[in-house]
Amino acid sequence: MGDAPKLAGPDLSDGVTLAELSEGKPLVGHVGDQGVMLVRRGDEIFAVGATCTHYSGPLAEGLVVGDTVRCPWHHACFDLRTGEAVKAPALTPIACWTVVRDGERVRVGDQQPPAPAPGPQPGHPQRIVIVGAGAAGHAAAEQLRLRGYRGQLVLIGADEAGPVDRPNLSKDYLAGTAPEEWIPLRPREWFAENGIELVLGTPVTRLDVQKRNVLLANGRSYDFDRLLLATGAEPIKLTVPGADRPEVHTLRTLGDSRALIARAHKGRRAVVVGSSFIGLEVAAALRAREVSVQVVAPEAVPLGKVMGPELGAYIRQLHEEHGVVFHLGTRPQSIDEGSSGALLVRLEDGTALEADFVVVGIGVRPAIELAAQAGLAVDNGVLVDDKLQTSVPGVYAAGDLARFVDRQGQRLRVEHWAVAERMGQTAARNMIGATVAGRDGRWTDVPFFWSQHYDVAINYVGSGVGWERVELDGKPADKDCAARFYRGATLLAVATIFRDRESLEAEVALEQR
């Protein structure tokens, strides 16, 4: 979430000339105290809010694709006709205004009321249960109501916290620069207002696909006609001696992030195990709190496997410039109590690091126990078809646990926020047979994720699994570059630093293959 942007450009209620509007190139201005942009598409002109409803990204710097605009920061997509957030991570629409044309002059008129939700359809199932109140589960619940589903809707989460903005837990929230009120995806009352029964703090312990029923740890059970499994993933635990000490943390939940903040208040020295995205984001957030950070990881280059050697080396350098010390090519061997009462993290290479607490970021594994126990097809994830349906009709899966077939025909499971939300939205529509313009219910989205390290955001589109060659355009140290990952002659993925439009253009190019 960012601050409300300052008003820019002309007063659009006074109008501009038609000649000032170039095809597909937004013109930003304002109406009263609201930022508005005009977008010309052929003979049509749209007037919509200029600020993304996710974290306030500047939509005019994004990309117009057909009758939609994509946000430059995290690739949310909005319908220019209705304002609807048609692709996460934005979930709230942007406002739309009427456009008044008077000869060669174009001005913005009244703000339009929000588009009414469609009514319920005869074929809708009566009861839908969503297991997992994270990115995918929450987005699915919102989507069901948005598409006119009026039946019983239950969203069950093991975590007390409810749906939260998980990416923030390793970034601004952990760094102390995002207030607590930014963290819930919606206020609690929103769920009641939208007829969503939110059941929190109680995991589902059993799924019976024959009886179409889920059983919770507290003994309650819910019958369903359609089910969405969205239980996400769990951090992999370190297994060396001493790794079960209370000072050794992982990070997945709001509670985990709060526990790290409490440690950062008391302890001034942290060891981060793993140079994963989460490990390094935690390192950056702890440095913002002036905690000294040492990172231990087996790789020679942090993130090198995903980002390639040059970008990986730059990310290392960036962290070193902020005071992070790396111990690469080695692993922790044990965690003991040192003589001063601090922890002593002993490494395989013989080094011993003193720390007040340890954060382990060595990856996640999909939470597939429920699915496996119920007899669903699983293989490093819950296997889904192109409609995100599992091997059992009426039971869908979305998010970190779902292993789908991508555009190249390979089975893929990704752990990205916007992808999880979009999968949840797609599964929701398929559960009720809803269709939207331009989408046929098949899951074909190109993966996208972002990662933030200090003031540097990395945007990544595509899936670079199995890349053989990387082409770097520009210099990472100039904070202006794009890395393209190829297998043979095939472009698989593109990572960018401060080239947001290029990232959006790459996404569109990958979608067209």
Report what 135 binds from ligand FES, ligand FAD, none; CB cut-off 5-8 Å by kind.
Answer: ligand FAD
Query: Binding partner of residue 170 among ligand FES, ligand FAD, none, CB under 5 to 8 Å per kind?
Result: ligand FAD
Where would I find the H helices in 2-100?
A: none
Q: Applying CB under 6 A, does 166 fall inside the site for ligand FAD? A: yes
The option from ligand FES, ligand FAD, none interacting with 58 (CB < 5 to 8 A, set by class) reads none
Q: Which of the choices ligand FAD, ligand FES, none does residue 89 contact, using the CB cut-off of 5 to 8 A by kind?
A: ligand FES
Cα–Cα distance, 191 to 144 (Å, whole number): 12
Q: Is 90 helix (H, G, I), strand (E, B) or coil?
A: coil
Q: What is the DSSP letter of 432?
A: H
Partner interacting with residue 449 (select from ligand FAD, ligand FES, none; CB below 5-8 Å by kind): ligand FAD
Helices then strands (H, E): number in the chain? 9, 36
Place of tokens 């609690």: 188
* Residue whose CB is less far from ligand FES, 52 or 358: 52
Burial 247-260 (b: 16+ CB within 10 A, else e): bbbbbbbbebbbbb
Q: By Cβ distance, which residue is nearest to ligand FAD? A: 134
Output 131 or 358, the one with its CB closest to ligand FAD: 131
Radius of gyration of the chain (CA): 24
Q: Are 416 and 136 in contact (CB under 8 A)?
A: no
User: Does 94 contact ligand FAD by CB under 6 A?
Assistant: no
Helices 417-432/135-146 angle, 10° precision:
40
The residue within the footprint of ligand FAD, chosen from 50, 95, 158, 248 (CB under 6 A), is 158
Complete DSSP assignment for 154-210? EEEESSTT-SB-GGGGGTHHHHT-S-GGGSBSS-HHHHHHTT-EEEES--EEEEETT
Q: Is 400 in the site for ligand FAD (CB under 6 A)?
A: yes
Q: At its nearest, how many Å lie between ligand FAD and the CB of residue 234?
A: 8
Q: What secondary structure letter does DSSP report for 119?
A: P
Stretch of residues binding ligand FAD (CB under 6 A), selected from 143-151, 183-191, 226-234, 477-485: 226-234
CB of 277 to ligand FES, least distance (A): 17
User: Residue 370 binds which entry of ligand FAD, ligand FES, none, with Cβ cut-offs from 5 to 8 Å by kind?
Assistant: ligand FAD
* Among candidate residues 231, 217, 157, 152, the one with its CA nearest the CA of residue 188: 157
Taking the complex as a whole, how short is the minimal distance between the CB of residue 427 and ligand FAD, in angstroms? Answer: 11
* Site membership for ligand FAD, residue 417 (CB under 6 A): yes
From the list ligand FES, ligand FAD, none, which binds 57 (C-beta under 5 to 8 Å, kind-based)?
Answer: ligand FES
Beta-strand pair 96-102/85-87: unpaired
- β partners of residue 487: 490
Residue type, 414: V
| Interface positions with ligand FES (CB under 6 A) | 52, 54-55, 57, 71, 73-74, 76, 89-90
Q: Which of 51, 53, 68, 231 touches ligand FAD by CB under 6 A?
A: 231
Choose, by CB under 6 A, the member of 450, 458, 463, 507 that binds ligand FAD. Answer: 450
Residues near ligand FAD (CB under 6 A): 131-137, 156-159, 166-167, 169-170, 203-204, 230-232, 251-252, 278, 367, 370, 399-400, 415-418, 420, 449-451
